[in-house]
Structure 1
Amino acid sequence: MEREQAMQKQQNQQNQQKESSPETQDIMKLRKETEKLQMQMNSIQNQINRINKLK
């Protein structure tokens, strides 16, 4: 049991190191930015569709 806990703790530390690496943080920022841009694109597309219906 203790051995499993020790291995789990080590795994958690490794995961935290990966998450805190600059590359990973950059990727997370880019993903968030991409999601924002996709939402904006969808909004714009919806507006275009509304305008086209009015024509």
Structure 2
Amino acid sequence: MEKTDQYLSLGHYSIHTVRNYLSELRYLLVYYAEVSPSDFTEDMLMEYLLYLAKTLGC
């Protein structure tokens, strides 16, 4: 999380954008709590995005 925060800070994103991105990243990490982030696959990320779209209406 800290490394992501640092990368976003380098991009000159607003504090609100950084906060929102980190919040969404936390949700993703909770969704796949049993998986190391380094083991995420494109299919897993697509599954999560479909979950957001179908279940939460995002």
Structure with higher helix content: 1
TM-score (ref. length: structure 2)? 0.36
- Which protein is bigger by CA-based radius of gyration? 1
